Chains A and B, each alone.
Chain A
C-alpha cells in the first residue's frame, strides 16, 4: 500500500475553478474577432494588414522585453499581449501608415506594460497608451479618416460622425452608426457588434457590468440634459452613445481588469468618471472624440478609488 502514496502538502483550498488567466485573455480575443471581421469588411485588406501587424509587433515586443528583463518568456503566450495588440489596431484609422502601427504597438507593450513590471502591474490600459502616443506623435495621420471602402482600392476621405458634427454640423443617421457603415477606426464603427460581444463578455463574468452600464447611463444623462436644453446645438444621447469609440471603450477598454478598480463601488465611480470626462471633451473640448483620454484619465484614479471604496467588513458598523 505504501507506494500508493505520493503525498503533496499544500495549503487549503485543495480544489478550484478551471478558469485561468490565459483562458480569460483568449476569450477576450475571441470576442474581439467579430469587430476585426467587421473592420476587414468595411476597410478591406488595409484593416487586416494593420490588425495582424499590430498583433505580431505586440507579441515580439513582449518577447524582447521579457528577454531583456531576464524573465521567463512564457507570458508571451498568456494572451495578454495579443489582446493589447488587437485592441490597439481596432482603435487606429484604417489608412494609418504601417510604420505608425508598429511604433504604436511597441510603445503600448514596452511603455504601457513592461516598464511597469508586466502583466498585472500596469496602471494604464496599454493599448490606449500606444494610441495616445500615436495621437501626440502623428496627429495628422491619426485624424485622417476615410469612408468605408470595402475591398475597393481607392479610398475617399471623410470625417467621422463625431468630427463631422463638431466641425461642420453634419449629423449621421442612427442606422449607419449602429451598423458601422461610417468613417472611423478599424474596429469601433459597428456599435451593435460591440454591444453583443460586450454582453457575452459580461455574461461570462469576464468583464464587470458596472463599468459599461455606468458609462452608458452617465453619457445618456449628460447628453440628454444638453439635448433638452438646446436640440440644435447638441445631438440626442443615442448619437453620442453609438458614435466614436464609446462602445468599444466602454465594453473592452474600460473593463480591462488590470487597469480598472477592484471594489464594486469603485467600479461605478470609475464608469461615471469616464462618462463625464468623455462628454466634457466631446462637447466642450477641442477634440471631437475623447474616449481614449477619459479612460486614461480615470485609470490614474484607480489606486485611489480602490483605497477609498474599500468595502465594509462583514458585521462592521
Chain B
C-alpha cells in the first residue's frame, strides 16, 4: 500500500495526464506488479534505420509451429524480400531474405532461441534489389478474406510481441467460431522497451490500417487498441486518429505488469476470461501487437514482406541506447558497433525485456522477427537464495491466481502430478512471482522445469 503510494508520486512526476486521458476510464486486471519502468532511457529517441550489415545470419526457426526448410542453396544469389525458407505445414510462416547478396552458408549457428540451430548466412552486396514491387498500393477493401490471409502468410508475418505465432493461423479460427473483437496490444508492459511506443508515435496510420485489415480478415465488428497509461502521447495520437471510426476505439489501461499479457489485456478490455488451456478465439477475441498490425499493413497494402522490424536497444551500460529499424538476421554485435560503446562490463545480454527476455551467451546471434528489444545489463549484485518463508508475495501477485511456491516445492521434489494439479501448465511465465520473491527463489525457472517435465510425461504416456 505504502509502496503503491510512493509509486504513484514517483510516476506522476514524469507523467502528463492529457485531456483525452482525463475522460477515459482506465481499465486493468487483478494482481500483478509495479516494476520500475526505465523507459525514459529510450522513449524520446526517434526510430533510426540501421544500414545493411556486411553479413546477415537469418535463423530459419523464428516462429512457433512447424519447422521450415531452406529453399535456397549455398552460392545462390538472393534479393531482398525473397523467400529463403518455407514449409508446406499450415502452422508456419516463411522467412525472407532481409538483404541482397550471396548465400554463403546454410548450417548450424547459435540463434537467440537455441544454442545451435539452422541459419542461413548471407554475404550482403551494396546494391540492393527487391523481390517485391516497391510501388504497389493495393486497396485491401477489394480483397477477400482469403486473399488477405494469403498475403499475410506470404509476407511471413508472425506475432511481433515476442511469441512469434504465425499471424495468418491466428486469424483463421475454427469454422463454428465467430470473432467479434480484435484487440491491438499497445501496452508494452515490459520495462525498458519502447519499440511499440515509438511505432505508435511514428506510424499510427499504419497501425490503424493494419487493425482494419485484421478486422476484415476475421470479420470482427469492433476493434480496441489498448495502451498503458504511462504512454499518454501514444494514447492521444491514436485517439485523434480513430475519432472518425465508429467501431474502433482507443482504451487506456493501467500501467501494471503484465498488462500486455494476452489473458490480462482481454480481461481488462472486454471483461472476458480465457478458460485455462484455451486460446483467445474461444471467447471471440483476437489479439495482435501494434507492431504486427503495422507489418500487416505493409504486407497487404505495400506488398512488403516482414524483413525489418523496430527494436529497442537499451540498458544503463550503453553509451547510446536507441530505437532502431533493423533487418532480420542482423547480428547483435553489428548493432553494438553501430550505436557505439559500453560504459561498463556487460554481464547480461537479453533478447526482449527484463521480465520475460532470454539471456544470450554470445553477441553473435541474429535478431528474429519477434525481437522487440535487446537489453544490456551491467555489473550487479547477485542475490543469495534463501528458504521459502511462505510470505505469499508470489500468491498475492500471480495474475493467473496460481500458488507458485507450492508448484516450486513440488517441482523441487519431482512430484510432477501434484505440480500439474496446482496449475503449473497455466503459468504464463510473466515473472511476477520471481520478481517479488524476497528469498530470491527462481520460481519461474522451476515452473518451467515442471511444465516441460509434465509435457514429457504426457507425451511418453501417449496422450
Contacts and interface: CB of A to CB of B under 8 A. Distances in A.
Contact of A314 (B263, B375, B389): B263
Interface string A233-267: 00000000000000000000000011111111001
Contact of A8 (B1, B3, B276, B347): B347
A259 B444 CA distance: 24
Given A311-B401, A313-B400, A1 B386 contact: no
A13 B354 contact: yes
Interface residues of B, number: 69
Given A13-B355, A13-B435, A16-B437, A313 B426 contact: yes
B421 to A, nearest CB: 9
A289 interface: no
Interface stretch (A17-25, A139-147, A275-283): A17-25
B145 interface: no
Describe A's contact surface by its main secondary structure.
loop
A68 interface: no
A138 interface: no
B423 interface: yes
B140 interface: no
B359 A10 contact: yes
A15 B347 contact: no
Contacts of A168: none
Contact of B444 (A13, A78, A204): A13
B35 interface: yes
Contact of A1 (B336, B391, B402): B336
Contact of A21 (B278, B350, B439): B439
Contact of A12 (B191, B337, B383, B444): B444
Contacts of A314: 263, 267, 273-274, 276, 399-401, 426
Contact of A13 (B3, B426, B434): B434
A62 interface: no
A316 B438 CA distance: 29
Given A7-B346, A7-B349, A21 B359 contact: no
A313 B423 contact: yes
5 contacts: A1-B336, A12-B350, A24-B389, A24-B391, A314-B401
Interface of B: 1-3, 35, 191, 263, 267, 273-276, 278, 333, 336-337, 342, 345-350, 352, 354-363, 375, 377, 383, 386-393, 395-396, 399-403, 405-406, 422-423, 426, 429, 431, 434-440, 442, 444-445, 448
Interface of A: 1, 4-17, 19-24, 78, 80, 118-121, 202-205, 208, 257-264, 267, 306, 310-317
Given A12-B355, A15-B191, A24-B438, 8 more contacts: A1-B336, A4-B345, A7-B362, A23-B438, A121-B387, A262-B406, A314-B263, A315-B278
